[in-house]
Structure 1
């Protein structure tokens, strides 16, 4: 299991255990993390699972695909570390990952 910490816009932390091979979005939904809505269920057809990858983890997670970049155009307050959590696969080397949930979704 891989530890992922979600930090809400108000600073509240949610420390979760994620199954390798799942997505960060699935982990958020299964753990009831507020602010990750995931209307499309992980199909990369909305931007309601938008998160900010913590700067310390940005390189390890990597950047968005072209399709994901297109969907991020619909997200609120996009930043250089913005990602759709449905597109981040959980893997062993992401143990300790920290992501920040925006104050609202697009």
Structure 2
């Protein structure tokens, strides 16, 4: 949050056993590219480590941000072609912690 209480980014997810999963990640449009998303993801990963997780899963459609996750060390493990629509894919990624 900014000093005025305005929400600029957020993430939700889960942990279960040694696995963690990111359900949603959001960064306000005017804050994208500032590093806040990478910081948010690092905080999520640190919390997952503290909970005993060894890896994190996330999915992202090709029209969203799979490249963002890949730049931060996530590797594509599966791609569901033409989901949700032809020419767009559902990309599943994993990062070893």
Structure 1 and Structure 2 fold alike (TM over 0.5): no
TM band (smaller chain): 0.3 to 0.5
Higher relative contact order structure (alpha carbons within 8 Å, sequence separation ≥ 6): 1
Give the TM-score normalised by structure 1. Answer: 0.31
Structure with the largest fraction of strand: 2
Higher alpha-carbon Rg: 2
